[in-house]
Amino acid sequence: MQEETIEAHRLVCDFVVRHGGVPKVPLTKELLNAVTSARTRYRLHLEQEREKRESLAQGEKRKAAADYLEELKKRSILLPNTEEMLDAPTPLTMSNLTLS
């Protein structure tokens, strides 16, 4: 656990022990507000983490699409060269061959 979490855990445990156990802890308005705000901050943290993961996943998809597009561009450059080579006359054709 992080140091901040350990300190908070000790603080809560000390507070409960000081009041004689969980059933005897007074539920003041201040305590209820602290619990509510802590829960809100936690939900906000979870939302930010989810958005970060989604953003990373989108970035990976975008990179994969860009790589795929680059590969297609390379193929399209190679394809005309291949067509030109196939269309070019070859020095050795069947009509030039003579059987001896």
| Cβ 19 vs Cβ 26: under 8 Å | yes
Domain count, the chain: 1
pLDDT tops 60 at residue 99? no
Q: What are phi and psi of 20, to 5 degrees?
A: 90, 20
Cα angle 95, 97, 98 (rounded to 5 degrees) comes to 115
pLDDT value at residue 75: 77
Q: Which one is predicted more confidently, 92 or 67?
A: 67
Q: Is the pTM of this model over 0.75?
A: no
Q: Which domain holds residue 30?
A: 6-75
Q: Is 81 inside any structural domain?
A: no
Residue 18 lies in a domain: yes
Q: Which of 46, 28, 50 is nearest to 38 (CA)?
A: 46
**pLDDT the model gives residue 60:** 94
24 in a domain, yes or no? Answer: yes
